[in-house]
Copies of this chain bind each other. A is one copy, B any other.
Amino acid sequence: MTTSLSELKVRSKRIADISAALGLLEWDQETCMPPAASAARGDQRGALAEIAHEMLVAPETLRLLEGAERETASLPEDSNDRRLTAVARRDYDHAVKVPAELVAEISRASSITHEVWARAREASDFELFAPHLETMFGLARRMADCLGYSGHVYDALLDLYEPGATHAAIRTLFTELRPRLVELTHAISARPPVDDSPLHGSFPVDAQRALTLSVVAALGFDLARGRQDEAAHPFCAGFSHNDVRITTRFSTAYLGQALWSSMHEAGHGMYDQGWPADWEGTPLGGGASLGIHESQSRLWENVVGRSRPFCRWLLPKLKQAFPDRFNATGAEALYRAANRVVPSFIRVEADEVTYNLHILLRFELESELLAGTLAIKDLPDAWNDRMEQYFGIHPRSAAEGVLQDVHWSEGLIGYFPTYTLGNIVSGQLWDALTRDIPAVDAHIENGNFAPILAWQNSHVHQYGRKYLPGELVQLATGKPLSSEPYVAYLVGKYSELYDLPR
């Protein structure tokens, strides 16, 4: 019997197929496409985005959705079909609330602003960028008004990336986190720096490519259902359960670039390869949120990938990949090199500890800009003051300060906190995982990553988008979201590494 629910699934599958094609247009643009084709590619992306959006907001979708809601109302609250309908409703509501004209206006403004941003960063000229940034925050406010919110204006935007999260909850989490991170950073800065010279030198790209492929395969990224390519800004993209693609960037001078970015993207990739195959094309297929996705990438990149047992496993592979290069390096030296903490200006180059301070700073500033309690013209000073306060360093230019990130220029406002949420969740998941698998360090040292992936599969991946991030964390760890395990992980690890007083 055809039901509204089954018709809704057919319609969702069609939209997912168009979105997958759109995803391929984007992947290809970053990995393969001749740059000369970017205008034509923009039109192609625009066409598919518009078609998918039109199908999603069509009255027929609402009719099926309302039918499916009636059909599933008496099912258990936790049943897949009822959850699927709820996720479809959330997607529909998000899409239908923002008028197509505003979407188009944001798209146009962001392509101009992005171009101006690139020039402004090049010239380290905030004045050039300021009016355009003003426009983007104005558009973000209009978008928030369309989406609606009951608390902070920020809530409306945050919900796009992190469903169910609120400004108040994030602020509480981050407010707890900040003094701990500042204290840890300052304590580390007072100690002698660790030596990361083993990771610097000259590393042929072909050997790095083979190494990173073998590492991600060892972790459990299935290369028969995926691939790794190169991109200027590494990312992960999935076009189906059996086609998940990660990208990396090779620096001949610094091995850490490709090594940990590959593990990071493989973490995203294993999530995308891991949710239930029969949810493909339904609203339940995919990751729960950007934050949960980031928890997977950070767990593999940092918690596993910069651990002592991992360095023990990795070292012989490095010796093989780069003959004579690591003869004088022991596993302990590699571990220390992988975990050098130093306050620095650029977020994307930051270490595991200070990275979060970069995020906190951005979260605070974009909240104030959005609420109107901070003016665009005062942003550079506010940025630099907080850099001083949190890191103890002062940017010498706007390029290494307020102009460094692409996000705001693209209208990605309310997006930054998902990075630190990911870190926090990775700590909480790891805490639960190590209780379930006490011998995890030995497994890692033996290159046996399967128990970790299996745990992630059964505690996170298998749920796809079924639960809100908060529900998922509770389900996976038995506890509500908390920064405590992550702070304990950082403090424990770096106190030992830097010999800090406890």
Contacts and interface: CB of A to CB of B under 8 A. Distances in A.
Interface of A: 13-14, 17-18, 20-22, 24-25, 28, 32-34, 36-37, 39-41, 43-44, 46-48, 51, 223-227, 239-243, 280-281
Can you tell how many copies of this chain the complex includes? 2
Is the contact region of chain A dominated by helix, strand, or loop, or is it mixed? helix
Given A24-B24, A28-B28, A243 B37 contact: yes
B13 A51 contact: no
Contacts of A39: 242
Contacts of A47: 14, 17-18, 21
Contacts of A242: 34, 36-37, 39-40
B51 A18 contact: yes
Contact of A224 (B34, B48, B225): B34
In order of increasing CB-CB distance, the 4 nearest A-B pairs are A40-B240, A37-B243, A17-B47, A36-B242
A403 B224 CA distance: 30
A28 B27 CA distance: 11
16 contacts: A17-B43, A17-B46, A17-B47, A18-B44, A18-B47, A20-B40, A24-B28, A32-B32, A33-B243, A36-B225, A37-B225, A37-B242, A40-B239, A40-B242, A41-B243, A44-B239
A26 to B, nearest CB: 11
Contacts of A226: 34
Given A37-B242, A239-B40, A21 B21 contact: yes
Contacts of A17: 43-44, 46-48
Given A37-B239, A37-B242, A18 B48 contact: yes
A240 B28 contact: no
A243 B280 contact: no
Contacts of A22: 21
Contacts of A225: 34, 36-37
Contacts of A20: 40, 44
Contacts of A18: 44, 47-48, 51
A412 to B, nearest CB: 24
A20 B226 CA distance: 23
A224 B281 CA distance: 36
Contacts of A32: 32, 227
A176 B465 CA distance: 66
A44 B16 CA distance: 9
A22 B48 CA distance: 11
A18 B45 CA distance: 9
A500 B354 CA distance: 81
Contacts of A224: 34, 36
Contacts of A281: 43
A28 B240 CA distance: 14
A43 B15 CA distance: 11
Contacts of A48: 17-18, 21
A266 to B, nearest CB: 15
A227 B34 contact: yes
A398 B41 CA distance: 45
Contacts of A34: 223-227, 242-243
Contacts of A37: 225, 239-240, 242-243
Nearest to A19: B44
Given A34-B243, A36-B225, 15 more contacts: A17-B43, A18-B44, A18-B47, A18-B51, A20-B40, A21-B25, A21-B44, A21-B48, A24-B25, A34-B225, A37-B242, A40-B242, A40-B280, A41-B240, A41-B243
Central interface residue in A13, A17, A41, by most chain B CB within 10 Å: A17
A408 to B, nearest CB: 29
A281 B226 CA distance: 32
